[in-house]
A and B are shown apart, each in its own frame.
Chain A
Amino acid sequence: MNTPSFGLDDFLPVLPAAILTAGAILLLVSEVFLGSATRTYQALLAVVTSVAAGALAFSNAFLPAHAVLQGYAVLDPFSSFTTVVVCLGTGLGALLGAGFLKHRNAERGEFYALLLFAAAGMSLLAMSAEFITLFVNLEVLSVSTYALTAYLRRGPRPSEAGFKYFILGAFAAALLLYGAALLYGATGTTHLSEMAAGLGAAAKAQPALVACGFFLVGAGFAFKVAAVPFHMWTPDVYEGAPTPVTAVMSAGVKAAAFVALVRVFLFLGPVFDPEVVFVIFSALAAATMVVGNLLAIPQRNVKRMLAYSSVAHAGYLLSGVAALFAPATVAPKSGVLSASATWGADSALRGEALKGLLFYLLAYTVTSLGSFGVVGALERREDETKGNAWDLDRFSGLAQRRPFQAAAMAVFLLSLGGIPPTVGFMAKLLVFRAAVDAGLVGLAVLGVLSSAAGVYYYLRVVVYMYMRPAVEGMQTPERQWTTEFALAASALAVVGLGLLPGSVSDWLSRAGLIFGQ
């Protein structure tokens, strides 16, 4: 019998997740011993924990990519940077949550603990290199998010949102799992690297079985990242969840799911049939961009509008994913692929695309957290059971009532719309440039056009804030320093990274160093 041997090196990648878990347990214990009236210290503890975990993950990002923990996980810059982004989102989310919950007398250690558990799950998911590990870590993240969605018991909405999210999440997990079972049957292993090695032969012997497995795994992931046509749950869940939770869901959960998707398909896609993978991701990207933006246009409910906009942003990200599988050479004359064309972008292009994806995830994290943060800060407790808490009218004349929040919201909306000098512009530039370099000119043009349509509904909110008079008798909730701090930090990041993306984008270039490629 061979006993496993571990070195210190094996535990380095899981250390950020371990810190997050330890912080969560500390918060749970603090609830027992320090149930004082003000619980702001809990939010700060959560922030400190995520900063510590993020810093550690950042230092990990400069280590070479290698497999750890007997091949069940990998340590590579790609996963480490994802953990950094996730920790950033969690820290900001905890600060936003502090003000939001204090206003509702609902501050509890459990809330922050679940946030940190979710972050640990995201970090572990990003590094999983084996299907069952990936599935379990996906569940760690999902189960904590289900609970966070149903955390508040004010009116029927949170429980409805929690229930929908749970049913669709569990359904997606079952699809993913059954697909993984079929792929296990085809190759005899659940390790992604070994599966990639055996898949070529399996795809020749059993093409239908492998195709079914791929389809189910892809559908499971499409649910998780809310790609059209698997996006139906997004608006209801995003609207019903407590706003800080929505912010974390749109940023962190999506980032982790995208990273897992990229890892799985980068391993398996090229071996199976890169052409099919490429066509499917391009179609998903196009449909998701267009449908997300079209559905967002008529929304007067700002929270719901941001939910649909997050669907559209998943579409932009998917075009970056499609670029990973683009044909390397295109026959010049006919425009169709020559028989000798090799599918799958070369490593330089793939590095650019991965860098673009991570930069986009970073940009979307700060922007989305900020915009949902403003929405949450304006929500009044009395409106929770009614449906009009997030109506556009609530933003009328915000510039006079709350000049700082209005300015911050304007910055976030411009960034979501992709207008320079914000980080949203730089992120779209990187992703669409990767798509163009990979030959996906049509997809990039479609992306630019649909984001131009998006500018309409983003700017409508800015117009309401700056050019409409305030509605009489409209009260705004009192300001919370934690919320203001988080908004200021996000706004600063949005503008700062938009003007000077240099050093961050240089770091993220290392993200191209993904394990196994």
Chain B
Amino acid sequence: MSAELVLFWVFAAAIVASAGGVIIARNAIASAMSLVACFFFLAGIYVLLWAHTIAALQVLVYAGAIMVLFLFVIMLLSLTESGPVAQLSPSRILGAVGTAGLLAALVGALLRLPKTLPTWVSDTAQVQRFGTIKEVGQVMYTQWLFPFEAVSLLLLVAIVGAVVVAKPRI
């Protein structure tokens, strides 16, 4: 077994376990901590996928900033959980069955993908460059200008929206 395969299974098992923790934990804080763990292990998977830049961002932005926001809100509201964790009405059971069906369809489709190694991997120079900040940044700032500006608009809108909604009274 290659090192990649071992690491993949370690991270994959940890991701599935921590995602399961998010879904079944009774306490919202436990869910949030499981989610942080899940994001960390995902960052590990991203490194295996040679996406170093995104792995760093995953830890900084997702696990660092977004999850702190979540935890902050949970603490602020000091939630106490009562009653069952999940609600099982007929429509929700139908939804769960639909989810299982979707999973089966997806796995069926993905198993049929070719297992051969991509040809571009033989180009060592390209492999060296792939996923680095330099390459991602170059492509982003020379080609993806319009979506980049749209994201800046989105962040402005989100700031204004959050301030408006969180005001105690309008």
Q: Do chains A and B touch in the complex (CB under 8 A)?
A: yes
**Is there contact, CB below 8 Å, between A153 and B109?**
no
* Chain B: minimal CB distance from A155 (Å): 12
Q: Does B77 contact A (CB under 8 A)?
A: no
**Stretch in B14-22, B25-33, B58-66, B151-159 with 4+ CB within 8 Å of A:** B151-159
- The docked-state distance in angstroms from the alpha carbon of A143 to that of B158 is 6
**Is there contact, CB below 8 Å, between A117 and B157?**
yes
* Chain B: minimal CB distance from A31 (Å): 10
Contact for B157 among A140, A151, A209, CB less than 8 A: A140
**Is there contact, CB below 8 Å, between B164 and A110?**
yes
Query: What residue of chain B has the Cβ atom nearest to residue A107's Cβ?
Result: B170
**Stretch in B46-54, B81-89, B124-132, B137-145 with 4+ CB within 8 Å of A:** B137-145
**Is there contact, CB below 8 Å, between B145 and A69?**
yes
Q: Does B160 contact A (CB under 8 A)?
A: yes
**Is there contact, CB below 8 Å, between A130 and B147?**
yes
A37-80 toward B: CB 8 Å interface, digit per residue (1/0)?
Answer: 00000000000000000000000000000000110110000000
Give residues of chain A (105-156) contacting chain B, Cβ–Cβ below 8 Å.
106, 108, 110-111, 113-114, 117, 120-121, 124, 130, 132-133, 136-137, 139-140, 143-144, 146-147, 150-153
Main secondary structure of the interface of B (DSSP, over half): helix
Q: How many residues of A are in contact with the other chain, CB < 8 A?
A: 42
Residues in B with CB closer than 8 Å to A162 are 165
**Is there contact, CB below 8 Å, between B154 and A143?**
yes
Give residues of chain B (101-145) contacting chain A, Cβ–Cβ below 8 Å.
105-106, 108-110, 112-113, 138, 142-145
**Is there contact, CB below 8 Å, between B143 and A4?**
yes
- The docked-state distance in angstroms from the alpha carbon of A124 to that of B149 is 11
- The docked-state distance in angstroms from the alpha carbon of A50 to that of B170 is 25
Main secondary structure of the interface of A (DSSP, over half): helix
Q: Does A211 contact B (CB under 8 A)?
A: yes
- Residue with the highest number of chain B CB atoms closer than 10 Å, among A106, A152, A209: A209
- The docked-state distance in angstroms from the alpha carbon of A143 to that of B159 is 10
Q: Does B90 contact A (CB under 8 A)?
A: no
Residues in A with CB closer than 8 Å to B160 are 28, 110, 113-114, 117, 144, 147
Known: A114-B161, A206-B113, A209-B109. A152 touches B154 (CB 8 A): no
Using CB atoms and an 8 Å cutoff, list the residues of chain A in contact with chain B. Answer: 1-4, 14, 21, 28, 69-70, 72-73, 106, 108, 110-111, 113-114, 117, 120-121, 124, 130, 132-133, 136-137, 139-140, 143-144, 146-147, 150-153, 162, 206, 208-209, 211-212
